[in-house]
Every structure is written in C-alpha cells, then in structure tokens.
Chain A
Amino acid sequence: MHNEHSDTHFQTRIDNGEHIEAKDYMPENYRKHLIRQMSQHAHSEVIGMQPEGNWITRAPSLRAKQILLAKIQDEGGHGLYLYSAAETLGVSRVEFIQQLQSGKAKYSSIFNYPALNWADVGAIGWLVDGAAIVNQVSLQRTSYGPYSRAMVRICKEESFHQRQGYEIMAKMMKGTKDQQAMAQDAMNRWWWPALMMFGPHDTDSPHSSDAVKWKIKRETNDELRQKFIDKTIPQAELIGLTVPDDKIKLDEKTGHYKIGPINWDEFYRVIAGNGPCNKQRLDHHIKFHEEGSWVRDAAVAYKQKHSTKELQTV
C-alpha cells in the first residue's frame, strides 16, 4: 500500500496533474514556499492600491475617476481573495499583516516607485498590470487548489485593468506634444521596473527549481518575461511609443524580441528597501490600519452585545 504522507506520493500526485487541497499532505517546504509566495502576492495587491490611489482625486475627468476607483477596488478584492487562500495554509490574517508591517514579508518592488503624473496611471495599468497578468494567467494552473481558484477569479478581472491603462497611453499619444512627451517619459520610467517584476533570471533564481518541480510555478521567470516582452513591444509601436532600450531586436527565426541587459543592481537596491517609496508605502499601511482599529473594535463589541442578547432569549 502507498503511504499517503510521503513526499514521493505527494510528488506522484503533482506529476499526475492533481491539485493539492488544504487538508492534503504536503511537504513542509511546499507549504512554506506557498505561504511566502501567496502572502507576498496578497501584499502586492494591497500595497499596489497606493500609487494609483494617489490619483483618484486628481483624475482628469469623471469617467477617468470612476474607472480608477473601480480598478483600485478590484485590487483590494484581489488582496482579499489571496489572503483567504493563504490562510488555508494555517497562518492567520493578523500574522500576515504583522509580517508585512514589520518588513519581514515582501511585496512586489514595482510599488515602491511613485506615480508622478497622469501618464503614470496609464503606464501602470498597461505595463504593471500587463506584466502581472502574464504571471497570473500562468498561475491559474498552479498546483495548490485555493491559489489556483483565486487566480482564475483574478484573471477574469484583470484584462480591464490593462486595457484602461493602454487606452490612457493611446489617448495621450494622440494629444499635444506635451502629452506625448509625458506618455513617453512614463514609458521610460516604467518599462524596466515592469520587466524586473518577473524576478531574477532563471540562472540566478534561488527558489525557482523547487517551485517548478512542485508545479507552484508553471513557467520560469525568463519564459514569462519573454511573453510579456513579445506582447508589449508591438503595442508600444502601434501608438508611437519608443521602448527605452536601444538593443532591442526582433529575432526573425524565433519570432521573439531580444532585449538589452537588465540593471539588476537597481532591482536588488529596491528590494533591500532603498527604492523611492518603500518607507512611505509601509508607513501609510500602518497608519490606516491603526486608524481603522476602532471600526474593528466596534464590530466585535456589536457582535458580543448581540450574542448575549441571543442567549437571553433562549
């Protein structure tokens, strides 16, 4: 008889394409990897609300404001789907929030860059959500059931995010010289950080091989990055934007674009906490979490009052 609590049996299930559910046996490192990746993903959705939230009150039209509000509300929802899914691994929401606020848990470094003007809102939707989508589409087939289901739900909502961003960029590129320059400037600042969102090259990626073996990751960092590059360069060209990389070349044989070298020093500098907005993002999260504590206290007080009443009527 097979032993259901062995790593070999677990790997056989993975190899057979089965999903792993919360109560199933899983190796401790599989659980750890998921807790790290899923909570990091959840934190990214939530922290990612900040750079765009900065522009709600200054959106250039009522239409733009409504769209931005709906998009940011979605991102909050994505954070909640992912926290719920991650909690099935036995870590509480309070612990996740503490890990974020103490700096122990990371979130995507991209959100440590500021959204300086309206063109940045376009660039974020088009490039940052665009890169996130490539990753999330792939993660729909991840081996952990609750994570996979959350990804399916998220992907349904994401395509509007990318399209609204691209629409902003396309509109600006049809506008005045100043607007075109703003759009190009945003492109110049967001292009490389967006490529870095996929993480280090496969040869330098410390967690990649286990994650691929366990089918947590279905494609490697470099494979996903290439997909994004191939999709995005023609979109940039179509609206007259220049990709800020003079080494870009289309390989006619493979149909893939080759890009110049990525500046990984900057990537590690931002991860280490020295990006333009690291401190601001966490301070903001902590401030609003603390200022909201009276709401949680009131909810609990209401519940307690309510449940004593219920007992008395029995």
Chain B
Amino acid sequence: MSLDTQLDLWEVFIQSKSGLPYIHAGSVHASDNKMALQNARDIYTRRGEGTSIWVMPSKYIVASNPDDNDMLFDPSNDKVYRHPTFYVMPEGAKNI
C-alpha cells in the first residue's frame, strides 16, 4: 500500500449573494488551490448556496484564545461617550 495522506486542510467561506459578507461554511481537504476551490464548490454549493467562494489553508488562520474572552470582548460599558445618546443636542435640533 502506498503512503497515505489526507492532503492539506482548507477553510471554506461562501458569499450567498453579492453585497453580503463571506461566511464560514466548513472545511475541505485538498492538495492545491485549484482542488480546494473545486472541492469547496462540490461539497458546499450544490444548491445555489453561493455566488462566490473563498478558500484558504487552515494553517494561516489565527484565532483568539477563549481564555482571553473577558479581556478581549469586554463591552467597555464605562465608555458611554461611544454611544450617540451620550451627547446633549440643543433644543429644537432636527435630523441629527
């Protein structure tokens, strides 16, 4: 039996309609760009799920560590001046 390989892992992002964001759909195994794109097409868009696909090698994704969530995603509720309601508008001001 020859040397087995699972090929490289790629992440697949699909845009369902032009103008909308690309959303992570899942991953595929492939050895090169072309195969990754082709596999992503066959596996994730058989029913018009997308109009555009991005694929990228999973090894290049940098992800935040869940342990840092408290620090990273603190809502900064003390910084009320980030919200428009913080500001006092002159009486009678319109369209602002």
User: How far apart sit A202 and B47, CA to CA, in the bound complex (Å)?
Assistant: 38
Residues of B with C-beta under 8 A to A94 = 4-6
User: How far apart sit A299 and B8, CA to CA, in the bound complex (Å)?
Assistant: 11
Query: Closest CB-CB distance, A292 to chain B, in whole Å?
Result: 10
Q: A150-B26, A306-B32 are in contact. Are A74 and B46 (CB under 8 A)?
A: yes
Query: Closest CB-CB distance, A9 to chain B, in whole Å?
Result: 11
User: How far apart sit A94 and B2, CA to CA, in the bound complex (Å)?
Assistant: 13
Q: A24-B66, A92-B6 are in contact. Are A302 and B46 (CB under 8 A)?
A: no
User: A80 near B43 (CB under 8 angstroms)?
Assistant: yes
Q: A25-B66, A293-B4, A296-B7 are in contact. Are A302 and B28 (CB under 8 A)?
A: no
Q: In this assembly, does B31 line the interface, its C-beta being within 8 Å of a C-beta of chain A?
A: yes
Q: In this assembly, does A288 line the interface, its C-beta being within 8 Å of a C-beta of chain B?
A: no
Q: In this assembly, does B80 line the interface, its C-beta being within 8 Å of a C-beta of chain A?
A: no
User: Nearest residue in B to A80 (C-beta to C-beta)?
Assistant: B43
Residues of A with C-beta under 8 A to B66 = 4, 21, 23-25
User: How far apart sit A74 and B45, CA to CA, in the bound complex (Å)?
Assistant: 11
Query: Closest CB-CB distance, B8 to chain A, in whole Å?
Result: 8
Q: Interface size on B (CB < 8 Å)?
A: 25
Contact size range, A: 20 to 34
User: Nearest residue in B to A298 (C-beta to C-beta)?
Assistant: B31
Stretch at the interface among A48-56, A81-89, A127-135: A81-89
User: A80 near B28 (CB under 8 angstroms)?
Assistant: yes
When the two chains form the complex, which single residue of B2, B26, B28, B35 contacts A149, counting CB atoms closer than 8 Å? Answer: B26
Q: In this assembly, does B88 line the interface, its C-beta being within 8 Å of a C-beta of chain A?
A: no
Q: In this assembly, does A246 line the interface, its C-beta being within 8 Å of a C-beta of chain B?
A: no
When the two chains form the complex, which single residue of A150, A296, A302 contacts B32, counting CB atoms closer than 8 Å? Answer: A302
Interface string of A188-201 (1 = CB under 8 A from B): 00000000000000
Residues of B with C-beta under 8 A to A93 = 6, 29
Q: In this assembly, does A252 line the interface, its C-beta being within 8 Å of a C-beta of chain B?
A: no
User: Nearest residue in B to A79 (C-beta to C-beta)?
Assistant: B43
Query: Closest CB-CB distance, A7 to chain B, in whole Å?
Result: 16
Interface string of B21-43 (1 = CB under 8 A from A): 00001111111100100000011
17 contacts between A and B (CB under 8 A): A21-B66, A24-B66, A77-B42, A80-B43, A87-B9, A92-B6, A94-B5, A94-B6, A149-B26, A156-B47, A157-B47, A293-B1, A297-B2, A297-B3, A297-B5, A299-B7, A300-B31
